[in-house]
Amino acid sequence: MSATTSAAPRPPRLDELGSDLVRTTRRQRITALSRPCVGAALFAAAAYFGLWWLTPLIVFFIFIAVVTVTHDVVHGSLGLSRRASELALFALGAVVLESGHAYRATHHQHHRVFPGPDDPEGDPARLSLGSAILYGPLFLPRLWWWAFLRNRGRRPQRLWLLGEATTAVGFLVGAVLLYSVTPALLVYSVLMIVGSWTYPLLTVHLPHRHYGETPLTQTHTLRGRIVPALFLELTYHLEHHLYPRVPSHNLPELSRRLDPFLKEAGVEPVRVP
């Protein structure tokens, strides 16, 4: 993606593009929230029938499903109540042995300050490709610690963070203790932990690689039929940064309505299959 204009034009307001872009139907909400459960059930079935070669593919699906729906919950675009959002963040984080509340704290900070300082989620964008890969094991622990410190004096939020950390560690300990009964839990844990090491590269470094100083050059957008659908529309990263209230299922339509503006602004989306 590149911008040829020196002065960044103002993106159209969301209400100019259409208020329907922020709508989420009951069916869309249920679909988004149920995908991680379907993935976990598929993993259990694959383990039961000894189809271990399938488990990495299923875990990939679980990661995409969890990241997508958690993203929408964090931005309040699924229409959940405050209490339901808190519970959803806990449950969705538990599926991938992570902290949904830590992600909410650091992701909101990322939207507020990127590419400025004090943005632990955005730091991998400033690293080299190799450093972003090596940063993987440190990424989530650092996000959790940043969120825990930032929530000083907010006891409920700290309790959520501690509960999520305890749940993840407890699951891993239980998986080790139950290995002689079933290896499935430990395999699941290892795949989830190792899979999370790709976050700095795939969700931060590559989307923001060679970022500029204007909203139109701080991240990229990938357009296509297969890849965006495979990643449940997470590839529309520029559109998301410009309009974070739009839920993931409406990002393809948002991109179509935004195309004339992007073309006029000199922004060239990356084309993928």
pLDDT in tens, 93-146: 999 999 999 999 999 999 999 988 899 999 999 999 999 999 999 999 999 999
pLDDT-based confidence at residue 5 (cuts at 50, 70, 90) = very low
Q: Residue 100: which residues within 8 A CB-CB, separation 6 or more?
A: 70, 73, 74, 88, 89, 90, 91, 92, 93, 164
Q: Is the pLDDT of residue 215 over 50?
A: yes
Q: Which residues pair with 270 in a beta bridge?
A: 222
- Would 273 be classed as within a structural domain? no
pLDDT tens-place string over residues 228-271: 888 888 899 999 999 999 999 999 999 999 999 998 988 888 88
Cβ atoms 218, 210 nearer than 8 A: no
Share in percent of the chain as helix, strand, coil (round to 5): 65, 0, 30
**Rounded (10°) CA dihedral 78, 79, 80, 82:** 120
Evaluate whether residue 84 is within a structural domain: yes
Q: Tell me whether residue 83 is in a domain.
A: yes
pLDDT in tens, 7-20: 667 889 999 999 99
Question: How many domains in the chain?
Answer: 1
pTM of the model as a whole: 0.91
Give the per-residue pLDDT at 4.
42
Is residue 223 a part of any domain in this protein?
Answer: no
In this structure, is residue 269 part of a structural domain? no
Mean pLDDT, to the nearest integer, of 29-45? 97
What six digits make up the tokens of 210?
């060679």
Residue 263, domain member (yes or no): no
Given pLDDT bands bounded at 50, 70 and 90, which one contains residue 3? very low
- Mean pLDDT (whole number) for 203-230: 90
Cβ-defined contacts of 223-227 (< 8 Å, 24+): 223/255, 223/269, 223/270, 223/271, 223/272, 224/271, 224/272, 224/273, 225/273, 226/272, 226/273, 227/272, 227/273
| pLDDT for residue 8 | 66
pLDDT for 10 equals: 85
Specify if 136 maps to a domain.
Answer: yes
* Interatomic CA distance for residues 181 and 222, integer angstroms: 44
Tell me the percentage of the chain whose pLDDT exceeds 70.
97
pLDDT, the chain, mean:
93
The DSSP bridge partners found for residue 222 are 270
pLDDT at 273: 85
Note down the domain range covering 34: 22-211
Q: What is the DSSP string of 11-44?
A: PPPHHHH-GGGG---HHHHHHHHHHHHHHHHHHH
Residue 207 is assigned to a structural domain of this protein: yes
**CA-CA distance, 181 to 175, in Å (whole number)?**
10
- The pLDDT value given to residue 168: 97
Split at pLDDT 50, 70, 90, the class of 1 is very low
